[in-house]
Amino acid sequence: MRKNIPWIIVLVVVFIVLGGLSFTVNMYFDYLWFAELGKEVIFTTTLYAQSALCTLTLLAGFLFLYVNFTVANRAPGLIEIGIPTPTGQITALRIQPETVQRMAGLGALAVGLMVGTSFASRWEMVWSWLHRVPFGEVDPVFGRDISFYFFSLPFWRDVVQTGLLLVVAAVVGSVVIYYFKGAMSWRTVRNGAVRCGRAGVHISSLGALAFVFLALGAWLGRYELLFGSNDVFSGASYADLHARLPMAVVQAVAALAGAGLWLYSAFSARIRTGVYAVVLYVAVAFLGGIYPSVVQKFFVDPNELDKESPQIAHNIKATLKAYGLDRVEERDLSGDKALTPQDIERNAPTIHSIRLWDHEPLLDALKQIQEIRTYYDFVSVDNDRYHFNGELQQTMLSARELNSSSLPERNWINERLSYTHGYGIALGPVNRMTSEGLPVLHAQNIPPASAYPAFKVTRPEIYFGELTRGYAVVGTGQEEFDYPSGEENVYTKYKGSGGVQVGSLLRKLLFAIYFRDFNIALSPLVTSESRFMYFRSVGERLSRLAPFLMLDRDPYMVVSEGKLYWIQDAYTVSDRYPYSTATAGVGNYMRNSVKMVMDAYDGDVDMYVADPDDPVIKVWQSVFPGVFRPISDIPQDLGLHLRYPEDIFQVQTYVYSTYHMTAPHIFYNKEDLWQIPSIASGRGDAPMSPYYTIMRLPQEESEEFIQMLPFTPGRKDNLSAWMVARSDGKDYGRLVVYRFPKQKLVYGPRQIIARISQDAEIARQISLWDQRGSQVIQGNLLIIPIEEALLYIRPLYLRAESGKIPELKRVIVAYENRIAMEETLEASIGKIFQQNLSLPAQGAAPLADGDGGAPAPVVRPAGAAPAAPESGASDATQLIDKAGDAYNRAIAAQRAGDWAKYGEELKKLGETLEELKGRNRAQ
């Protein structure tokens, strides 16, 4: 055994050294990462806060326990432990006081370390308390500023709980020492008088301290009543205020009385007084559990509405305030406005922005026609708006990202040094399609091609995106793959400032340790000029930069002055707003306080304060000075693309569906409960999701970019209201609810879908497609307000049995009792109103050809029927269109891997070209 001891010590030392080295290296490169972003104050403040808290609480806990253990160890006597021998005899092992002292010190250090690390992990709570700011609002019960509940109450609650834990640990440790030393005697006789013994004084004093902490806990527990919940509302109920609150005061007084009894026990040598303290506290706690139930059953339940009305009013007011719904503007609609063709023509920009491409079909189409290579991938589709062709138009954009898991040859050089970035975007209007039902793209192909200045991308490389997982090394001896060009590839060198530079051989070796990848150390391709990019995915990068913020689930890409940026909405959330109702995954307080902008090429991040009145973000601005910038500092072009985020709007609509009832008796009876409509989908019924559109709101003068969602009455399917969140200019963030008269029947989504399904002509056409082996995909139903009436729009997509590309084939429009399904939106609307409409057409400049890209497709607006040829138009124009269609179908078939279809379309193209050539000769 002794021969093995040195090896064990060596292994322990090696383990400690390696662990310490790994920790130091991680801290070092974390600092370099924050410094690269110019946000090192976040790293240093966090490190200082955690270190200071860990040190202070560890030291306090250690000293408190060590002093108590030392007092116990000074009691007379030795610790003796009986050890059986092989002969059956018992040998006494005596442990000297010095050994006990060392063991006690180790135990105190271990508990102190646990307390220190626990407090260090909650540094955000402590630093928020140190930098707290007032809300300027008070709770309705105690009259305290709301900041007390956000910042002070959690801090003092943790202090009390930690203090009680240390006292309990001191009692347990001291009792163990006294017991084994044989000194656990409560009484002693001195000079003929009976007095409390050393152990009695010590344990009684600790008991008194424990009861002081119990009293503080009971006193603070009064405030926690404001976060209660029951079946009707959230917050303190009548029973809480008139039973639990007084009993909490009684319990605090009982605990203080218990502390006094323990102190009396320390000097009276009567252990029974300490027992009386425990019995008193337990009895009061027991009564505190029974008395509120009695009050609830005999005083509240028989007349609940009358008793709870004041508390319900508090809950309604607090919930609306906590979610920013207290500023909702409600407008009533007459419900009697009948749409005319002139109304449709006056609202042409709204019609032009009706989204006919749902995210999933569009994503499937882009994957087939724009991924170009197997290692590119489109992850999501983002809604935004741009000014072009003289008007504001809604667009859908998707980034072409590199998916390293799909590389044809996966090795370290390819994944880390060569294939480092995605390339370009696909962007098009939400409502336009080619003659084949494919999406029209205003920006497409590799290299990016666009005829519109707003969409010209001069820096298309995407080093930081949603799929960029793991580290990449740029500026190495290995050329970076840029993009494919026919049979050849184009290579590049990174020219930006993103990433952490290697600089020296030592840092190169440390990088190898940090990433646990010794290819870094061994590769001559990684030089001192190389730069390591890590934490590159949008979510990981931004959540690591600001872990105290909650990120929206949908970061979206923006084209601005030729560069690509990610915009990420971030929220301040909490569960500490008194009387507010909580939402799962969020808490009971939510603000969209921060807009984050990240450069897709360099990875630079700027954080802008979008809600300067939010007290929580004010605290973080104080904690991290210089990190946040005012929203007025955002570049003007980027500012035009800020939008009201979807996550908070979903939460707000969910909350408002109940809390628009501001009268307590209506709220209690749920007389006017709303719900978010559910629509059948492939996965069963699912609530409608909010959607973006451009429209002119009723009673407004011009079109704007908004997000909206309808409401139906509880357990009914007709429409009762709809809410919009505005995103443009000075109206950004304003919420408006439009309400229909209760006596007016307005069809809801489920009713419209049922009527569409019952339409004989639509059902016949869908059955015919199904019989031919095609898959019919029914798109999302959109409710589009026009003036004070509603249009219901549902696109239909067709996916061939052998293909993967969904094609937009029909548009269903419903208005009042009329339903139409035609090839285009305008044709359907025209059929509804039984006349041709004259909508201003959207421009469609052709795209310039790019390497590997198709010629400009023949396009038509989804809001415009195919134009009839003018009198005298030549047949040659029609043949050119026919040839273009055949070419587009051939390219689509090639990308889908349908070679039979590809050959068939090429044959048609050749026949059309021969016919065109013959006509030219005849002329």
Per-residue model confidence as pLDDT tens digits over 160-209: 999 999 999 999 999 999 888 887 776 565 555 545 677 888 999 999 99
Task: Say what the pLDDT of residue 22 is.
Answer: 85
pLDDT at 292 > cutoff 60: yes
Task: Say what the pLDDT of residue 185 is.
Answer: 73
**Can you read off the two tokens belonging to residue 116?**
């220190």
575-606 tens-digit pLDDT: 999 999 999 999 999 999 999 999 999 999 99
- Bridging pattern class, strands 704-713 and 674-675: antiparallel
Spatial separation of the C-alpha atoms in residues 226 and 315, rounded to whole Å: 10
595: Cα within 13 Å, side-chain hemisphere:
26
Residues in contact with 52: Cβ distance below 8 Å, sequence separation at least 6, in sequence order: none
pLDDT at 849 > cutoff 50: no
Partners of 533 in the beta sheet? 472
pLDDT at 396 > cutoff 70: yes
The phi, psi pair for 40, rounded to 5°, reads: -65, -20
Task: Say what the pLDDT of residue 86 is.
Answer: 72
Q: Which segments within 475-521 are labelled E, that is strand?
A: 480-485, 488-492, 500-501
Q: Which segments within 622-734 are labelled E, that is strand?
A: 628-630, 674-675, 678-681, 684-687, 691-695, 704-713, 721-726
Q: How confident is the model at residue 348 (pLDDT cuts 50, 70, 90)?
A: confident
Task: Say what the pLDDT of residue 379 is.
Answer: 93
Task: Give CA torsion, residues 777, 780, 781, 785, to 10 deg.
Answer: -140
Task: Say what the pLDDT of residue 865 is.
Answer: 40
Question: What is the arithmetic mean of pLDDT over 705-727?
Answer: 95
Task: Say what the pLDDT of residue 184 is.
Answer: 75
Question: What is the arithmetic mean of pLDDT over 248-268?
Answer: 91
For 27, 46, 475, 538, the CA distances from 30, given in Å and listed in that order, are 5, 12, 21, 17
pLDDT at 843 > cutoff 50: no
Task: Give which of 826, 831, 793, 790 is closest to 812, Cα–Cα.
Answer: 793
Q: How confident is the model at residue 769 (pLDDT cuts 50, 70, 90)?
A: confident
Partners of 574 in the beta sheet? 589
Q: Would you say 810 and 756 are in contact if contact means Cβ atoms under 8 Å apart?
A: no
Query: How many other C-beta atoms lie within 10 A of the C-beta of residue 665?
Result: 12
| DSSP string for 283-294 | HHHHHHHHHHHH
Q: How confident is the model at residue 143 (pLDDT cuts 50, 70, 90)?
A: very high
- Bridging pattern class, strands 735-739 and 329-332: parallel
The phi, psi pair for 212, rounded to 5°, reads: -65, -45
**Can you read off the two tokens belonging to residue 612?**
């300067």
SS (H, E, C) 828-875: HHHHHHCCCCCCCCCCCCCCCCCCCCCCCCCEEECCCCCCCCCCCCCH
Question: What is the arithmetic mean of pLDDT over 472-495?
Answer: 92
Question: What is the arithmetic mean of pLDDT over 329-354?
Answer: 88
Spatial separation of the C-alpha atoms in residues 472 and 484, rounded to whole Å: 20
Q: Which run of H or E residues covers position 426?
A: strand 425-429
Task: Say what the pLDDT of residue 837 is.
Answer: 63
Question: What is the arithmetic mean of pLDDT over 735-739?
Answer: 96
Task: Say what the pLDDT of residue 69 is.
Answer: 94
> Which of 693-702, 775-784, 796-805 shows the lowest per-residue confidence on average (mean pLDDT)?
796-805
pLDDT at 485 > cutoff 90: no
Alpha-helical regions (H) of 326-374? 341-346, 348-352, 359-369
Task: Say what the pLDDT of residue 852 is.
Answer: 34
Question: What is the arithmetic mean of pLDDT over 447-455?
Answer: 89
pTM check: above 0.75: yes
pLDDT at 72 > cutoff 70: yes
Query: How many other C-beta atoms lie within 10 A of the C-beta of residue 693?
Result: 23
Q: What share of the chain in percent tops pLDDT 70?
A: 88
- Bridging pattern class, strands 422-423 and 432-434: unpaired
Question: What is the arithmetic mean of pLDDT over 245-253?
Answer: 96
Spatial separation of the C-alpha atoms in residues 801 and 775, rounded to whole Å: 7
Average model confidence (pLDDT) across the chain = 88
Question: What is the arithmetic mean of pLDDT over 348-366?
Answer: 91
Query: How many other C-beta atoms lie within 10 A of the C-beta of residue 507?
Result: 18
Q: Which residues of 159-168 are buried (b: 16+ CB within 10 A; e: fewer)?
A: bbebbbbbbe
Task: Say what the pLDDT of residue 85 is.
Answer: 67
More confident residue, 540 or 436: 540
Q: How confident is the model at residue 334 (pLDDT cuts 50, 70, 90)?
A: confident
Q: What share of the chain in percent tops pLDDT 90?
A: 68
On the 0-12 / 13-18 / 19+ scale of CB atoms within 10 A, 837 is buried
What's the count of helices (H) and strands (E) in the chain, helices before strands? Answer: 27, 36
Spatial separation of the C-alpha atoms in residues 397 and 562, rounded to whole Å: 15
Q: Which run of H or E residues covers position 227?
A: none
pLDDT at 81 > cutoff 80: no
On the 0-12 / 13-18 / 19+ scale of CB atoms within 10 A, 913 is middle
Q: How confident is the model at residue 774 (pLDDT cuts 50, 70, 90)?
A: confident
Q: Coil, strand, or helix at residue 624?
A: coil
Task: Say what the pLDDT of residue 188 is.
Answer: 60
pLDDT at 428 > cutoff 80: yes
Task: Say what the pLDDT of residue 507 is.
Answer: 95
Spatial separation of the C-alpha atoms in residues 81 and 270, rounded to whole Å: 30
92-141 tens-digit pLDDT: 677 888 888 999 999 999 999 999 999 999 999 999 999 999 999 999 99
Residues in contact with 584: Cβ distance below 8 Å, sequence separation at least 6, in sequence order: none
Q: Which residue has the tokens 């959230």?
A: 234
Q: Which run of H or E residues covers position 773?
A: none
> Which of 696-700, 739-743, 855-859 shows the lowest per-residue confidence on average (mean pLDDT)?
855-859
Q: How confident is the model at residue 838 (pLDDT cuts 50, 70, 90)?
A: low
Task: Say what the pLDDT of residue 486 is.
Answer: 78
859-905 tens-digit pLDDT: 334 444 444 333 333 466 566 667 767 776 776 666 555 655 666 77
Spatial separation of the C-alpha atoms in residues 416 and 409, rounded to whole Å: 12
* Helix 153-180 / helix 40-73 crossing angle, nearest 10 deg: 30
More confident residue, 263 or 77: 263
409-423 tens-digit pLDDT: 999 999 999 999 999
Task: Say what the pLDDT of residue 878 is.
Answer: 64
Question: What is the arithmetic mean of pLDDT over 538-567?
Answer: 96
For residue 433, which amino acid is it?
M
Residues in contact with 286: Cβ distance below 8 Å, sequence separation at least 6, in sequence order: none
Spatial separation of the C-alpha atoms in residues 184 and 202, rounded to whole Å: 11
Partners of 24 in the beta sheet? none
Q: How confident is the model at residue 917 (pLDDT cuts 50, 70, 90)?
A: low
Task: Give which of 334, 345, 351 is closest to 791, Cα–Cα.
Answer: 351
Residues in contact with 308: Cβ distance below 8 Å, sequence separation at least 6, in sequence order: 232, 233, 237, 238, 300, 664, 668
How many residues belong to the chain?
Answer: 923
**Can you read off the two tokens belonging to residue 144?**
């305290």
